[in-house]
DNA sequence: ATCTAAGGGGTAATATATGACTCAAAAGAA
DNA sequence: TTCTTTTGAGTCATATATTACCCCTTAGAT
């Protein structure tokens, strides 16, 4: 039996919780702006039901739907901060670990004029 | 003709760009950690191809895949900041606008003991 | 109290995502 | 250079997302 969509059965509970929180935050933001699901869904070019899945924390909704929701709410800029390389402390640390112990001057072909 | 998946054809270019950036940031973070796509995909319980779609900015990948990637990279906490109600300036402003002009003391039935 | 609209949830049809497999190009190490 | 690994990409089968349509409960306004 070829198993499909392993991820749905294996999503760590914390990841599920994060997605659920995102959904409820989006719902709160929508209500604060006094927008109905119908109205917001149409601005997102999706159906009310799909927006509902997002707001209810369904992990299966696409990044398109998610991003579009933030877009309609005017919150899309926050997404740009995610996984920013210059703020990735773990990454920067690991990168240093990968640096060579010593550096040796490399012979550069000097006909590469620049 | 019933049009399906309108969102794919209607995603604002900026939203597409944001998703593409997220993907490339994830790719950078992975490389910094010296993890191959194969290795990372297996930790996410998806195939290398699906991870590739995420890293290449495919707007169709699910929140599950996206969140799982951040999870594996140890960056999932950043997601918790998205659309946080207490930091939603637009929302807080609009909420104030919705407040009633005046307040009138309401007759509270006092047999609601609490 | 009454009424209207908002939203939760079901179904069937269809588009798309995802997995499994494969080939090939490109990157990197020795 | 040569060899190995990584990764990009195509195909097919299947699971799932999304739509369009439906009904129904309930919250909120009057």
Could you give all domains of chain A from N- to C-terminal order, each with its CATH number? 3-97 (1.10.260.40)
**Residue B19 beta carbon within 7 A of nucleic strand C:** no
> Mean pLDDT score of chain A, rounded to an integer?
87
In 10 A of CB B18, how many CB atoms?
A: 23
Contacts of B69 (CB under 8 A, 6+ apart): B26, B40, B44, B51, B54
Q: Which residues of B touch A7 (CB under 8 A)?
A: 44-46, 62, 64-65, 68
**Residue B56 beta carbon within 7 A of nucleic strand D:** yes
Through-space separation of residue B68 CA and nucleotide C7 C1' in angstroms: 30
Q: Which residues of A touch B62 (CB under 8 A)?
A: 7, 59-63
What is the full DSSP assignment across A25-56?
HHHHHHHHTT--HHHHHHHHTS-HHHHHHHHT
The gap between the terminal CA atoms of chain B, to the nearest Å, is: 57
- pLDDT tens readout for residues A14-23: 999 999 999 9
Per-residue pLDDT in tens (0 to 9) along chain A, 114 residues: 457 778 888 899 999 999 999 999 999 999 999 999 999 999 999 999 999 999 999 999 999 999 999 999 999 999 999 999 989 888 878 777 776 676 665 544 444 444
pLDDT of residue A97: 78
> Which residue from B minimizes the CA distance to A61?
B62
Burial class (CB in 10 A: 0-12, 13-18, 19+), A103: exposed
Cβ contact B75:B67 at 8 Å: no
pLDDT of residue A99: 67
Of A78, A79, A95, the CB nearest to B32: A95
Please name the residue whose C-alpha is nearest to the C1' of nucleotide C14: B4
Cβ contact B105:A46 at 8 Å: no
Nucleotide nearest to A44 (CA to C1'): D18
**Residue B32 beta carbon within 7 A of nucleic strand D:** no
**Residue B62 beta carbon within 7 A of nucleic strand C:** yes
Cβ contact A76:A108 at 8 Å: no
Nucleotides on chain D that have an atom closer than 7 A to a protein CB are 5-11, 14-21
What is the full DSSP assignment across A53-78?
HHHTT-TTSBHHHHHHHHHHHT-GGG
- pLDDT tens readout for residues B5-50: 788 888 989 999 999 999 999 999 999 999 999 999 999 999 999 9
pLDDT of residue B25: 96
Burial A3-31 (b: 16+ CB within 10 A, else e): eeeebeeebeeebeebbebbbebbbbbbe
Token reading at A79: 């997404």
**Residue A60 beta carbon within 7 A of nucleic strand D:** yes
Angle at A43 between CA B2 and CA B18, to 5 degrees: 105
Give the integer Cα–Cα distance in Å for A56 and A39: 17
- pLDDT tens readout for residues B72-95: 999 999 999 999 998 988 888 877
Residue pairs spanning A and B at CB distance below 8 A: 180
> Pick from B66, B18, B109: which is nearest to A11 by CA?
B66
């Amino acid at each position: 039996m070829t198993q499909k969509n392993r991820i749905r059965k294996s999503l760590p509970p914390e990841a599920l919780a994060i997605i659920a929180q995102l959904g409820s935050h989006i719902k709160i933001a929508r209500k604060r702006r006094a927008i109905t699901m119908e109205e917001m869904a149409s601005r997102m070019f999706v159906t009310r039901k799909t927006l509902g899945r997002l707001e209810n924390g369904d992990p299966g909704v696409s990044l398109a739907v998610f991003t579009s929701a933030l877009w309609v709410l005017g919150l899309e800029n926050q997404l740009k901060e995610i996984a920013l390389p210059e703020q990735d402390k773990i990454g920067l640390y690991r990168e240093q670990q990968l640096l060579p112990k010593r550096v040796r001057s490399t012979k550069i072909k000097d006909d590469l004029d620049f």
